[in-house]
Chain A
Amino acid sequence: MNALTYPPHARTYRYDEIDREFLQERIAEFRGQVERRLKGELTEDEFKPLRLMNGLYLQLHAYMLRIAIPYGLLNSAQLRQLGRIARRWDRGFGHFTTRQNIQFNWTRLEDVPAMLEALAEVDMHAIQTSGNCIRNTTTDEYAGASPDEVVDPRVYAEILRQWSTLHPEFTWLPRKFKIAITGSPHDRVAAQVHDVGVLAKRNARGEVGFEVYAGGGLGRTPIIARKLRDWVPEAEFLAYMEAVLRVYNALGQRDNIYKARIKILVRDLGAEFTQMVEREYERMPRDKYRLDPEIVAAIGAHFAPPPFAALQDQPLPEDREFRAWAAASIRAHKQPGYASVTISLKPIGGIPGDASADQMEAVADLAERHSFGEIRVTHVQNLVLPHVRQEDLFTLWQGLRAAGLATPNIGLISDIIACPGMDYCALATARSIPIAQQISERFADLDRQHAIGECFINISGCINACGHHHVAHIGILGVDKRGEEVYQITLGGSATNDASIGELIGPAFSYDTIVDAVETLIATYVAHRTAGERFIDTYRRLGAAPFKEALYAPA
């Protein structure tokens, strides 16, 4: 398979011969590293960071291979190949992650080179999906489609991808480094809880510039990022990124893994961090790092609008079930007559983010038929078909239903983010997936879910917070308490423009009572809400008191 079989109008970055050669060289390098490890020329300690920077983790039961999906963008040929890999080398499943990547949880070490070769056939890889380096940049899953978009963030996400790929200076950082970029005033990428968050915008003259945040993060020390600058001109974008990374690489803590993220450095230095970045930026030979408009244009050409037909918006068919799905799954598009469709990977009782090989192939087929062959992965572990004709929505829905992919719960209480937890992860201290499954089953009635309205539940199986529980309306953190899994609840978190860290509501609940506790919270919200209020709004208006009372008052 090669680029010639790609859907012609899918706007993913198209590899050229140089990019492909680079990928082959990288595979050759990793093969050599594996050989040196097997010959004993590399110790396990030396090999580990090299293996991680090629996406290979050692988990609880097996190796896990995490594959990069740059800023969550896939074409149908790539998704089909992921399905093939799942069937051939995993157990017929893949798991989409909050970093818009996919991971295979049942990888055998000896299969890894073949898996990397199969990925390279469709210009994909596992580079920098782990390790203390710059990871996959995430962006808005509705990029290029959303009516509120001011700047196309894919262009700059791809520039960041190339710039950060095997960066000679920033490959051995104190800790992992995650960047998110959005080009819309409505932050859909959780920019303020990233190591660096970027809001691309335009000035009065229409020029592109960037609002830059640093030092946000979740994990065991959740922190909202500090704004470094309101405006970095487009040409200076990479220079400014360099300056931030230089200060971090020089001064970030190295002796304590829990204090090594940039958020700790930014928190400790405060305004001084900003000054140090500015000082570095001022003294750089900026010509050398200038982002040439010609390069921006060349990269931008990869993301030109697909050939949209001239259509009018039209009413949806009356079918009740279809309408329920449409209400949850369809989003307005900037092009008249089109819509963006979110595909739920959260079937009732299912594992959040899992997709079978058959489902991947089904989505690839549907994307080719209805969305120019283009697919997005979202940071809430769903998929998006960005550009669907409104007149095709009913047919698309039927196709999704046939593949078990039409659960109408996007943005609702069963659209849960969950980390792999103790079912897979070597770090986890509690199970997450079964809790997600039980909550989803408890609220299985979709009419009830719609009545409850928008509510985000995120679940992490340990303090590292891969399930982003801090920024959920209802966050659940599983911890180990003297050999027993218990679950803490935080309320009022948000990852959008009004970013906030949820507050711990009180003592933890047992594995057997946590779902009842969620039910109690929802009942309390429903009893107190005013018209149109979401869970988070009611919580913000009333504070924790009524929820606390409902959870902990003696019966």
Chain B
Amino acid sequence: MPLLEDGRLRPDDWTSIEDEAPLPEGPAIVSLARLRAEADALAGRNAPLGVALSPETQPEEVAPFLDRLALVAVCLPKSKDGRAFTQIRALREHHGFTGEIRATGHVLPDQYAMLLRCGVTTVEVPESTDPATWTRSRDTIRIAYQAAQSADRPLSLLRRKLELA
């Protein structure tokens, strides 16, 4: 499936690997269980490594591996299941993860702005997606009462609005 990044579609050059399947040459996304079990072997690969977290996973469980990961995928099994928002924010804020964070699953364009503000990089979207719907949704509301993870300096809460005023 294509990816949405900065409001534009781009192809996905990563491959998601089943736990029992052999690893391919290129960038690969594995489960946390496999990452744990084969940590050293996976670290020895000569290609970027990513992990897919289930919504139940607490980000600290993946923390020991983050320095060798280029991508963490989180999942919204249903659009109204918002656990991923807390996972994303924790990965950025508590664990200082700077790689790609990808939102997968049933994501609505209406959630795009909030995902970005929590620290998401890319969203996996269906083939027929019109990126304009996503950018329109992202850009409709430009005022926020809270600071975002992506803010270039730590703004105290509510300050953003006050500074604009």
Q: Are B145 and A163 within 8 A (Cβ)?
A: yes
Q: Are B82 and A171 within 8 A (Cβ)?
A: yes
Q: With contacts A249-B85, A250-B87, A254-B81 known, what are 9 further pairs, Cβ within 8 A?
A: A17-B165, A18-B143, A41-B133, A49-B79, A50-B108, A172-B111, A249-B83, A288-B147, A289-B157
Q: Are A29 and B140 within 8 A (Cβ)?
A: yes
Instruction: Return chain B residues, CB-CB under 8 Å to A163.
Output: 145-146, 157-158
Q: Is A120 an interface residue (CB 8 A)?
A: no
Q: Is A173 an interface residue (CB 8 A)?
A: yes
Q: Are B159 and A295 within 8 A (Cβ)?
A: yes
Contact A22 B143, CB 8 Å, known A32-B137, A285-B93, A295-B156: yes
How many positions in chain B have a CB within 8 Å of any CB in the partner chain?
44
Instruction: Return chain A residues, CB-CB under 8 Å to B89.
Output: 169, 246
Instruction: Return chain B residues, CB-CB under 8 Å to A159.
Output: 158
Which residues 80-128 of B sit at the A interface, judged by CB distance below 8 A?
80-83, 85-87, 89-90, 93-94, 108, 110-111, 113-115, 117-118
Q: Are B157 and A291 within 8 A (Cβ)?
A: yes
Q: Is A401 an interface residue (CB 8 A)?
A: no
Cα–Cα, bound, A50→B108 (Å): 10
| Per-position 1/0 for B127-138, Cβ under 8 A of A | 000000100110
Cα–Cα, bound, A298→B140 (Å): 28
Q: Is B161 an interface residue (CB 8 A)?
A: yes
The one of B80, B148, B154, B158 in contact with A49, judged by C-beta atoms closer than 8 angstroms, is: B80
Cα–Cα, bound, A298→B114 (Å): 27
- What are 15 A-B pairs with beta-carbon distances under 8 A? A16-B165, A28-B140, A32-B137, A132-B80, A163-B157, A168-B144, A170-B82, A171-B114, A172-B79, A172-B81, A250-B87, A288-B156, A290-B157, A292-B156, A292-B158
Q: Are A168 and B148 within 8 A (Cβ)?
A: yes
Residue of B nearest to A298 (CB): B162
Q: Is A334 an interface residue (CB 8 A)?
A: no
Cα–Cα, bound, A299→B154 (Å): 21
Q: Is A264 an interface residue (CB 8 A)?
A: no
The A contact surface, by secondary structure, is helix
Q: Is B21 an interface residue (CB 8 A)?
A: no
Q: Are B83 and A168 within 8 A (Cβ)?
A: no
Residue of B nearest to A292 (CB): B156
Cα–Cα, bound, A295→B113 (Å): 25
Chain B CB within 10 Å, residue with most, of A18, A165, A291: A18
Q: Is A312 an interface residue (CB 8 A)?
A: no
Q: Are A46 and B143 within 8 A (Cβ)?
A: no
Q: Is B37 an interface residue (CB 8 A)?
A: no
Q: Is A166 an interface residue (CB 8 A)?
A: yes
Q: Is A162 an interface residue (CB 8 A)?
A: yes
Q: Are A50 and B110 within 8 A (Cβ)?
A: yes
Instruction: Return chain A residues, CB-CB under 8 Å to B136.
Output: 32
Q: Are B141 and A29 within 8 A (Cβ)?
A: yes
Q: Is B164 an interface residue (CB 8 A)?
A: yes
Instruction: Return chain A residues, CB-CB under 8 Å to B87.
Output: 250
Cα–Cα, bound, A75→B139 (Å): 32
Q: Are A172 and B80 within 8 A (Cβ)?
A: yes
Q: Are A295 and B158 within 8 A (Cβ)?
A: yes
Instruction: Return chain B residues, CB-CB under 8 Å to A290.
Output: 156-157
Instruction: Return chain B residues, CB-CB under 8 Å to A41.
Output: 133
Q: Is A167 an interface residue (CB 8 A)?
A: yes
Q: Is A313 an interface residue (CB 8 A)?
A: no
Cα–Cα, bound, A468→B9 (Å): 50
Chain A CB within 10 Å, residue with most, of B94, B157, B164: B157
Cα–Cα, bound, A171→B113 (Å): 12
Tell me the minimal C-beta distance from A179 to chain B in angstroms.
15
Q: Is A287 an interface residue (CB 8 A)?
A: yes
Q: Are B85 and A172 within 8 A (Cβ)?
A: yes
Q: Is A227 an interface residue (CB 8 A)?
A: no
Q: Are A168 and B117 within 8 A (Cβ)?
A: yes
Q: Is B16 an interface residue (CB 8 A)?
A: no
Contact A166 B79, CB 8 Å, known A246-B86, A288-B154: no
The one of B81, B111, B164 in contact with A18, judged by C-beta atoms closer than 8 angstroms, is: B164
